[in-house]
Amino acid sequence: MTKLAPHPDRLLPADPGERAIARQLYAEVKDAPIYSPHGHVDAAMLLADQPFPDPAALLITPDHYVTRLLHSAGVPLDQLGLRRDGGEPTVTGRAVWRQLCERWDLFLGTPVRYWFETELSEVFGLTEQPSAANADELYDQLADTLSTDAFRPRALFDRFRIAVLATTDDPADDLAAHLALRDDPTFGGRVIPTFRADRYMNPQEPTWVDKLDALSARADVDASTYGGMLDALRSRRQAFIAAGGTATDTGVIDAGSEPLEPGDAERLHRAGLDGTIDAEGAAAYRRNMLYQLAKMSSEDGLVMQLHPGVIRNHHRPTFDSYGPDTGHDLPAVSLYTVPLTPILRDFGTDPTFRLVLFTVDETAFSREIAPLAGFYPTVYAGAPWWFLDTPAGIRRYRAAITDSAGFTKTSGFIDDTRAFCSIPARHDMSRRVDAGFLAGLVATHQLSEEDAVAVARRLVADIPIQTFRLA
C-alpha cells in the first residue's frame, strides 16, 4: 500500500533559500488559534456533542467539494449519501466511503486531496493512502476512532484550537444552539451566528412567501408589507447581535445596489405576494434589498460580506431531487465598482459600515476589489473562496491584492466549510502558502524578516479579528 505521509515542507517554495525563510515563518503561525469568520458547520452539533455517526457522514456527504468531483466521475449523488426527494439515504456509510477510495486518484492535484491527506494523517492517524483494496480496513479504523470520546465534536473543537467559529444562519432561525453554547460553562469555545437573508431578496423564489411567514413569526413583526419586512429583518439582526453575531453574508447573482423609493419597493413587494412580479421587477427589488442591507449594517455595525457572481443550482434536475448546496453552483463574471456605486457613495466612508468583497471570478481581484479596498476605508478584500481557495489561487490573490491594498485590508483565511474536520487542514494550507509568499518578498528584499514575521502573525489573528470585529 502507498504510505500516507504528508511532506513537512508541502506547499513551501522549491528554492532552498526561500524555503528556509518560509519554514521559519510557518513555524511562527502553524499552532496559532483558528479564527473562522465564515463557515457552515451546524452549531447544534457542538451543543449535542454526540459521536459522529460514521466516517462517510462526517467526511464525504456534507462536503460538496468532495461530492461534486465524485459526481463528475459518474457517481450518482444518492450513492454518496445525499437524500433524494427528502427521503432517507439509500446507501450505507461504508458504501459511500468505498466510492471515495475507489476513485482516490480523481483528486490528485486538487486542494481536496491536500485537505484529505492532512486530515486523515494528522487528525485520524491513518498511515495508508485510501484505495479500493483497503477501503473496508480504513473505514473500520475511522469508525473505531470516531466512537471514542476524544473524537466527539467538542473535543475536536478544542484540539483544533478554534478560537471563533462563525456559522451561517437564516434570519428566522431561533439561534437556540448558539445561545445554549454561549451560556454553557463546560464549553470554552465561541460559536457565533452569521445573518444571511438571501431568501428574502428575490420575490420570484418559490419559497419567498413561506420565508416571509417564518420571519413574521420569529420576529413577531408582520412582514407581509415591505416596511414590515425591513422592520422584521432589523429586529432579527439585533437578536443575532445578542447571540454574539458580528457579520452578515449575502450571496447574489450581481452586486447591483440601486435603491428604490419606498412606494415603488412596496408595489413590487405586493406583486411578489400575489405572483405577478416579472423578472425585471424582481431584479430591481433584489438590488434595492442589497442597498437596504448595507444601510442596516451602517446602523448596527454588522460586517457585510458580499458574495456575488454565483449561478446557483445550475442543474435543475439535481436541485429538484437533492435541493441546494449539492455541488452545482457555478461561477459567473463579477463586477463591483459600478454596481456598488450607490452603497459606496452613501456608506463608503462611514466608520460604522464595513464591506468584505468575495469573488469566484479571480480577474476581479486586481481589476476591481483591490483598487476599491485601496481607497475606501470600509472595503476589505475577501480571501479566495470556493473554486479559488487552492494553493495556486491563494498565491495569485496575494500578488493581485497586495500591490493595491497591502495585507491589512484583507479578511484573513475563510474556510467556508460544512466539513468540520477539514477546518485545520484548510487553515494550515493557507498558512503554508502565505509563508511562501512572504518568503519571496524577503528573498527579493521587499520585506525584512522581522516585518514578514509580524505580517504572518497578523494574517492569522489581528487581521480576521479586526476585519470581522471579533474582539
Angle at 346 between CA 333 and CA 342, to 5 degrees: 35
**16-50+152-467 CATH, one of 3.40.50.300, 1.20.1050.10, 2.40.40.20, 3.20.20.140:** 3.20.20.140
pLDDT of residue 320: 87
Count the neighbouring beta carbons within 10 Å of the beta carbon of residue 60. Answer: 22
| Cα–Cα distance for residue pair 199/206, rounded to 1 Å | 10
pLDDT of residue 319: 87
Q: Is 314 helix (H, G, I), strand (E, B) or coil?
A: coil
Q: What is the mean pLDDT of each run of 10 residues along the chain (471 residues)?
A: 92 98 98 97 97 95 94 96 82 97 97 96 97 98 98 98 98 98 95 98 96 98 98 98 98 97 98 98 98 98 97 90 88 95 98 98 97 98 94 97 97 95 97 98 98 98 98 92
| Cα–Cα distance for residue pair 428/116, rounded to 1 Å | 12
DSSP-derived secondary structure letter, 224: S
pLDDT of residue 340: 98
Q: Do domains 16-50+152-467 and 51-149 have the same CATH topology?
A: no
| Extents of the domains making up the chain | 16-50+152-467, 51-149
| Cα–Cα distance for residue pair 89/81, rounded to 1 Å | 5
Single out the residue of 57, 50, 101 nearest to residue 75, CA to CA. Answer: 101
C-alpha cell at 120: 486523515
pLDDT of residue 235: 98
- Is domain 51-149 in CATH 1.10.2020.10, yes or no? yes
Its pTM stands at 0.96
pLDDT of residue 1: 62
**Backbone phi and psi for residue 380, each to the nearest 5 degrees, phi listed first:** -125, 145
Task: Judge contact between 118 and 89, C-beta under 8 A.
Answer: no
pLDDT of residue 85: 74
